[in-house]
């Protein structure tokens, strides 16, 4: 079920939610932004780097939801099946707020779905979930929202007019002062990259209710700084390794399969897509820190339509996410570690057939 903005915010404002948020900078900032609007006493949860939930995790979520009357899901791009499972197991209505491209819209009355970018966002009007929430609530920290956009778009944020609006709102130059929101977002990214879900779960509390400037709180956290430095060092090495292993599958389509410790595939694929803007780049990756496997297909080309590929992949049973934005077209597929090699080869062949 879908609601317009005002009824949706009336519902959230008069509820006692548990907020289930994505584990990246945008997810953390989305959660803290919504919590700041609602007020004190919000409980937060972030799933253990999975988009499909086990029975055990659903039971944990149901237990935590007992003292709440609604589950609010932010920036997780969960399938309609998973959203309905959450509602059924917790016996609570679910509100999902997102900004990812998808054609999988929940039809259940128990799931309220709000996503202004579901059909694609070629003009970059919805660069982060935190921005969606900022517009819904009218209450936000412009620097934090800028950081959420940088967290999702990286350097491409400099070309995004929504990012520019937030930066100019607080007197910052979108180009010259880019490193301020970038560093804020990267502090969260380090914990995400190294799989520190318990640290991530606690971040919205400190940002929303800590009493100090949120970006100052992130930048002054020594644990986050250490994790970020470790992740950045490994990222540099993995980008070089993935680049060296890139093989041309067909004209303009390149792929490589690698592994590493941290959850780094998004930034690896983004870096190579930026280095080779005329290519479609596919990276298969196993993260040993969490035993997660992913495949990302990314390109800066705007003449490529990934929607048919996404639909085909979903029809084959893959958990698929993605975005269709100016200079940022991406498909992300989450799979089990033991199925990585087979999935990599199958998806490689599928893309060859669909694109050429």
Q: Token pair of 256, please?
A: 């490589």
Inter-residue contact 25 to 185 (CB < 8 Å): yes
Give the CA angle between residues 78, 41, 77 to the nearest 5°. 10
Domains 5-220 and 234-355 share a fold: no
DSSP line for 137-197:
HS---HHHHHHHHHHHHGGGGGG-HHHHHHHHHTT--TTTTTHHHHHHHHHHHHHHHTT-H
Q: What is the pLDDT of residue 33?
A: 97
Q: Which CATH class is domain 234-355?
A: alpha beta
Q: What is the pLDDT of residue 3?
A: 58
DSSP line for 87-138:
HHHHTS-EEEE--S--S-----TTEEEE-TTTT-BTT-S---HHHHHHHHHS
Q: What is the pLDDT of residue 2?
A: 61
Low-confidence ranges of the chain (pLDDT < 70): 1-3
Instruction: State whether the Cα torsion 193-180-215-28 is positive or negative.
Output: negative
Q: What is the pLDDT of residue 1?
A: 54
* Phi, psi of 161, rounded to the nearest 5 degrees: -70, -25
For 104, 111, 284, 292, the CA distances from 287, given in Å and listed in that order, are: 27, 32, 10, 5
* Phi, psi of 303, rounded to the nearest 5 degrees: -95, 5
* Phi, psi of 278, rounded to the nearest 5 degrees: -95, 0
Beta-carbon contacts of 86 under 8 Å, excluding residues fewer than 6 positions away, are 20, 53, 58, 61, 71, 73, 78, 94
Q: What is the pLDDT of residue 52?
A: 83
Inter-residue contact 62 to 18 (CB < 8 Å): no
Fold observed for domain 5-220: inorganic pyrophosphatase (n-terminal core) (3.90.1640)
Annotated domain spans of the chain: 5-220, 234-355
d(CA 44, CA 254): 40
Q: How far apart are the first and last CA of the chain?
A: 37
């Amino acid at each position: 079920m879908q609601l317009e903005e005002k009824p949706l915010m009336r519902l959230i404002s008069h509820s006692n939610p548990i907020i289930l948020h994505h584990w990246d900078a945008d997810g953390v900032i989305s959660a803290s932004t919504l919590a700041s609007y609602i007020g004190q006493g919000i409980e937060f949860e972030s799933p253990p780097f999975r988009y499909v939930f086990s029975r055990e995790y659903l039971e944990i979520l149901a237990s935590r939801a007992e003292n709440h009357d609604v589950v609010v899901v932010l920036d997780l791009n969960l399938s309609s099946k998973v959203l309905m499972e959450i509602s059924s197991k917790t016996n609570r209505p679910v509100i999902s707020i997102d900004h990812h491209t998808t054609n999988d819209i929940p039809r259940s009355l128990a799931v309220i779905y709000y996503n202004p970018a579901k059909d694609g966002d070629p003009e970059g009007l919805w660069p982060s979930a935190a921005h969606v929430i900022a517009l819904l609530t009218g209450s936000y920290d412009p620097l934090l929202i800028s950081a959420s956009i940088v967290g999702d778009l990286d350097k491409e944020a400099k070309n995004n007019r929504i990012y520019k609006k937030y930066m100019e709102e607080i007197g910052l130059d979108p180009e010259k002062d880019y490193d301020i929101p970038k560093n804020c977002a990267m502090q969260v990214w380090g914990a995400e990259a190294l799989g520190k879900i318990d640290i991530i779960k606690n971040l919205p509390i400190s940002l929303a209710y800590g009493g100090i400037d949120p970006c100052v709180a992130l930048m002054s956290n020594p644990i986050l700084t250490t994790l970020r430095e470790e992740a950045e060092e490994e990222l540099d090495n993995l980008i070089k390794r993935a680049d060296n292993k890139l093989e041309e599958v067909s004209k303009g389509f390149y792929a490589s399969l690698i592994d590493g410790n941290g959850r780094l595939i998004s930034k690896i694929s983004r870096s190579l897509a930026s280095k080779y803007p005329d290519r479609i780049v596919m990276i298969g990756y196993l993260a040993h820190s969490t035993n997660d496997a992913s495949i990302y297909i990314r390109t800066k080309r705007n003449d490529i339509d990934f929607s048919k590929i996404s639909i085909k992949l979903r029809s084959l049973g893959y958990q698929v996410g993605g975005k269709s934005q100016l200079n940022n077209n991406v498909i992300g597929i989450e799979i089990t570690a033991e199925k990585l090699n087979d999935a990599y080869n199958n998806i490689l062949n599928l893309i060859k057939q669909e694109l050429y």
